[in-house]
């Protein structure tokens, strides 16, 4: 019995480890794109990880299988082979495609809305919660009936026989 349990546990662990290995990040870089110089390839990967795929828009060009992403990866590698620095390559791509190509765009005049919108929404939500809680706090219980109102209510109840019996039953239940 213990041997079967051990075998089952080993099978489950082996299956789980296979799933974990398959879930590792998969890069879209093709073997023909990889540079022979390891340091240049590392720089290319670092630059590519920070650039947005203009087709997918939610992936870096390093992760995207889109044709444009492949072209951009090749372009980055060509500029690296030409001896340009990382910042020169980024500046070239920003000049060509705008700040949108950067996955983490800088805080400048044309991206301030992108950066400030989450904080504005958070502030509006906090304001709505504060206003709602304040409105609930200012609500008061209705004022008790005056003697005249109480007398008038008793007279109205006495004039309605069906309501009067229900009211007297409610009073007797107290």
Domain ranges of the chain: 23-118
Segment 28-54 mean pLDDT? 83
Distance CA 157, CA 5 (A): 78
Tokens standing for 125?
A: 């939500």
Q: Which superfamily does 23-118 belong to?
A: Cytochrome C biogenesis protein (1.10.8.640)
Could you give the 3-state DSSP secondary structure of residue 2?
A: helix
Distance CA 86, CA 98 (A): 17
Segment 28-50 mean pLDDT? 81
Q: What is the pLDDT of residues 110-164, one digit of tens each?
A: 788 888 899 999 999 999 999 888 877 777 777 888 999 999 988 988 887 765 4
pTM: 0.54
What does each C-alpha distance from 158 to 99, 150, 152 come to in angstroms?
A: 79, 12, 10
Residue 27's pLDDT is: 59
Distance CA 25, CA 67 (A): 20
Look at residues 52, 84, 85, 86 and name the one whose alpha carbon lies nearest to residue 69: 52
Strand partners, 52: 60
């Amino acid at each position: 019995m213990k041997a079967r349990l051990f075998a089952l546990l080993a099978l489950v662990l082996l299956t789980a480890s296979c799933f974990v290995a398959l879930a590792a990040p998969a890069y879209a870089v093709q073997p023909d794109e990889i540079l022979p110089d390891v340091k240049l390839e590392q720089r290319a990967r670092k630059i590519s990880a920070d650039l947005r795929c203009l087709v997918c828009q939610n992936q870096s060009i390093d992760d995207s299988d889109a044709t444009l992403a492949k072209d951009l990866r090749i372009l980055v590698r060509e500029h690296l082979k030409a001896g340009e620095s990382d910042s020169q390559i980024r500046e070239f791509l920003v000049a060509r495609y705008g700040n949108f190509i950067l996955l983490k765009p800088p805080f400048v005049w044309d991206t301030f809305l992108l950066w400030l919108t989450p904080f504005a929404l958070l502030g509006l939500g906090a304001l709505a919660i504060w206003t709602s809680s304040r409105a609930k706090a200012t609500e008061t219980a209705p004022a008790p009936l005056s003697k005249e109102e109480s007398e008038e209510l008793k007279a109205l109840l006495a004039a309605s026989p069906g309501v009067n019996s229900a009211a007297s039953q409610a009073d007797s239940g107290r």
